[in-house]
Amino acid sequence: MNAEEIESVKTFEKGLKEGDKVRICWTNSGSVYKAEAEVCKVNRESIIAELTEVVKHTCGSNYLIGQKIKAPRLTIGSGGDLWSNNNRVEPIGGY
């Protein structure tokens, strides 16, 4: 990511508030998942969002509507190593 892209992500994350509609991306058991969700809580280093759609898990079970998923915020030098294209919150439709 270049400096402009980093600033875009930081600006988006800084403006998030409870109730905002987002796309959340997360990983589990070596798989990547993406779904639309609603922000429940914005913490200093993470965002918790509640799924608004069912997501099929690779092992056969599902992530259900209302299930909460936690994703890291882009916090360079303080947990930013957890944030990635596959582990984040982004605007619906992407950047």
Task: Tell me what the pLDDT averaged over the chain comes to.
Answer: 90
Banded model confidence at residue 3, pLDDT cuts 50, 70, 90: confident
Q: What is the mean pLDDT of residues 40-53?
A: 95
Residues 6+ apart with CB under 8 A from 55: 33, 35, 62, 63
23 vs 39: CA distance, rounded Å: 10
Residue 36 has pLDDT above 60, yes or no: yes
The string of pLDDT tens digits covering residues 49-84 is 999 999 998 777 899 999 999 999 997 655 556 888
First to last CA, the chain: 12
Would you state the pLDDT for residue 35? 97
